[in-house]
Amino acid sequence: MSRRRRSLSLRTRVALVSALAAAIVIGAVGVAFAVFLRVNGSTQLDRTLDSVALSVPAESLTAAEPLVLPILPTDEPAVTTPGTGMVEFDAVRTESVAGTLVRARDVPVSGAAGTYLAVTVPEDALTVAIRQQQWQVAVAAVVAIAAAAGLGWLLAGRAVRPLQRLAAATHTVGDDPSAVLPNVQGAREAEELSEAIANMLGRMQQARNRTQEALGAARDFAAVSAHELRTPLTSMRTDLEVLATMPLSDEQRAEVVHDLLVTQREVEATLADLERLAVGELSDTADYEEVDLVELADRCVQESARRLPDLDIDLRGPDTVVVRGIPSGLRLVLDNAITNAVRHGTADRVRITLAENGTHGVDVTVDDDGTGIPEHERASLFARFARGSTAHAEGSGLGLALIAQQAALHGGTAELSESPLGGTRLWLRLPASRAHPAD
pLDDT tens across 274-328, in order?
777 777 766 767 778 898 999 999 999 998 888 888 899 999 988 888 888 888 8
CATH topology agreement for domains 174-282 and 285-439: no
Mean predicted lDDT score pLDDT of the chain: 75
**Separation CA 7–CA 160 (nearest Å):** 15
Which class is domain 285-439?
alpha beta
Q: What pLDDT score was predicted for residue 126?
A: 65
Of 86-100, 126-140, 340-354, the one with minimum mean pLDDT is: 86-100
Is there a contact between 99 and 41 (Cβ–Cβ < 8 Å)? no
Q: What pLDDT score was predicted for residue 312?
A: 92
Per residue in 101-147, pLDDT (tens digit) is 776 767 666 666 666 666 676 766 666 777 777 787 778 878 888 88
Per residue in 136-184, pLDDT (tens digit) is 777 887 888 888 777 777 777 766 777 777 777 666 665 555 555 666 6
Of 3-12, 191-200, 365-374, the one with minimum mean pLDDT is: 3-12
Per residue in 41-71, pLDDT (tens digit) is 777 767 776 676 655 555 554 444 433 344 3
> What are the residue ranges spanned by the domains of the chain?
10-150, 174-282, 285-439
Is there a contact between 350 and 420 (Cβ–Cβ < 8 Å)? no
What residues pair up with 327 in beta bridges, in sequence order?
A: none
**Separation CA 175–CA 153 (nearest Å):** 34
Cβ neighbours for 424, distance < 8 A, ≥ 6 positions apart: 341, 345, 367, 368, 370, 372, 373, 416, 417, 418
Model confidence band, residue 433 (pLDDT cutoffs 50, 70, 90): low
Higher pLDDT, 377 or 26: 377
**Separation CA 395–CA 385 (nearest Å):** 9
DSSP 301-364: HHHHHHH-TT-EEEEES-S--EEEE-HHHHHHHHHHHHHHHHHTT--SEEEEEEEE-GGG-EEE
Q: What pLDDT score was predicted for residue 68?
A: 37
Higher pLDDT, 384 or 408: 408
Whole-structure pTM value:
0.50
pLDDT average, residue stretch 251-271: 82
CATH code for residues 174-282: 1.10.287
Cβ neighbours for 378, distance < 8 A, ≥ 6 positions apart: 415, 416, 417
What residues pair up with 349 in beta bridges, in sequence order?
A: 312
